[in-house]
Amino acid sequence: MSKVRVFQVSHEKARLGGDACPWSIEWRENGRRRTEKVGTRQQAEDKAALKRRELDEGAAGVIPHKPWQEFVDEYLADMEGSGNRPDTIEVARRCLGTFTAKIKPKWVARIDGRTLEQFRTKRLRDRTVKGPISPETVKKELRHLRAALRVAKTWNYLKDVPSLPKVLSDQREKPHVSEPHFLAMLKAADVATVPELDGHDLAEGATPGDWWRALLVVLWVTGARIGAVLRLHWEDVDWETGRVLSRASDLKQRKDTRPEIRGALPYLVKIRGGDPRLLPWNLSRRTLYAHFDAIQEAAGIEVPCPKASVPGHVCRRSCHQYGFHAFRYAHARFNYANPELQNQMGHAAAATTDHYRRWAKREMAEYGAYLPAALGGGDEPPKSSGETAEKTAEKMRFRVVRA
């Protein structure tokens, strides 16, 4: 650690007295002695601590006086040049802008763990039109901030990336499509009136209900994102292995994957026309969600609102229906023990797949507490149910429920 001395000039102390004499700091820079008059002793101690840190960072090759706003502009420009999705860049811009407004940092090198804790505390006090800000929103902003600080360290603007402060939140159950609801949606798919045969080049005799049944089955067997499913092409289907190439360009996933789609091919062949896409859709995404909601309403689906316990939350009809992402959780629930789950779901990092696995294990596990025979239980304690759940999940490899 660099040495910085805090002292009072002797002749000034003799002239002004110990209480009135200002304090100074002294350090060496490039072999030359430097001094700076500060003020009170506490101010001098604080200034000395900052100077020690600045000298240590300079010795480590860190640029100590990189303005925060300049770095933000460089970071966002680098994101655009690296081919990140526009939505991702916009979220990062918004998160970094919120951090800048709350903390008003001047130098990148001065951001530490305490800075992030201050941001967390201030952000959790904010309110939105729907009520208090969600802790998950604060977690997301901290993750984007950490990604930016990691780049700052790579560019020698920051010595170390501080750890993220903890943000407590409710671990609510993830909405996942159940088997009865999945079968009910397949039966109710005929209420849909789009896509039309002529406008989407479907097979002769195919109906909008056939298209929706094919979409729902593909979502069920692949666990893929809705955007990835709508971009699949017939030319990428491998009929021998039952896999299809899911391209990473313009998608959230970072690399090409080959999810298994064999169980959905009979439904897809039924609607196959002249369009190169497996599931041609030429209308807006809003229309897609509107018809998905109509199918669920016709199927009589009513799921608990995941935010019912949040103060100030006003439930709407959409709160009691599934989103397309619920099919991903359903797929993970039945196939979490499969080693190919990461490729199947198109996750760039194994940590993301582990998140789904941990949730699915909690959902699938059966505890089976031992009850003595005198109270109606068995003679011996049952075997570990966790082991049974693992074997059951292994047998369910990419399970397909047919209509």
Determine phi and psi for 33, rounding to 5 degrees: -80, 130
pLDDT tens digits along 202-242: 999 999 999 999 999 999 999 999 999 999 999 999 999 99
Residue 366 has pLDDT above 70, yes or no: no
Distances (CA, A) of 161 to 26, 65, 114, 157, 281: 29, 17, 12, 11, 44
pLDDT value at position 129?
77
CATH class of 68-154: mainly alpha
Q: If DSSP codes are grouped into helix, strand and coil, which group holds residue 187?
A: helix
**How confident is the model over 350-372, as a mean pLDDT?**
79
Nearest to 26 by CA among 54, 1, 43, 51: 51
pLDDT tens digits along 233-279: 999 999 999 999 998 865 566 678 899 999 999 999 999 999 999 99
DSSP-assigned states of every residue in 17-73:
-TTTSPEEEEEEETTEEEEEEEESHHHHHHHHHHHHHHHHHHHTT--TT-BHHHHHH
pLDDT value at position 378?
57
- pLDDT level of residue 311 (50, 70, 90 thresholds): low
**How confident is the model over 358-386, as a mean pLDDT?**
65
Nearest to 4 by CA among 51, 69, 41, 46: 51
pTM above 0.85, yes or no: no
Nearest to 67 by CA among 101, 104, 36: 104
Gap between the terminal Cα atoms of the chain: 70
Structure tokens at 203: 């097979």
pLDDT value at position 319?
84
Determine phi and psi for 234, rounding to 5 degrees: -65, -35
pLDDT tens digits along 186-199: 999 999 999 988 88
**How confident is the model over 102-106, as a mean pLDDT?**
94
pLDDT value at position 185?
96
E strand intervals along 67-210: 127-128, 131-132
- pLDDT level of residue 386 (50, 70, 90 thresholds): very low
Residue 74 has pLDDT above 90, yes or no: yes
pLDDT tens digits along 138-157: 999 999 999 999 999 999 89
**How confident is the model over 363-377, as a mean pLDDT?**
68
CB-based burial of residue 356 (10 Å sphere; 0-12 exposed, 13-18 middle, 19+ buried)?
buried
Q: Would you say 157 and 70 are in contact if contact means Cβ atoms under 8 Å apart?
A: no
CATH number for the domain running over 179-320:
1.10.443.10
Structure tokens at 55: 């000298």
**∠ Cα 235 237 240 (to 5°):** 130
Q: If DSSP codes are grouped into helix, strand and coil, which group holds residue 7?
A: strand
Residues ≥6 apart with Cβ < 8 Å to 370:
377, 378, 381, 382
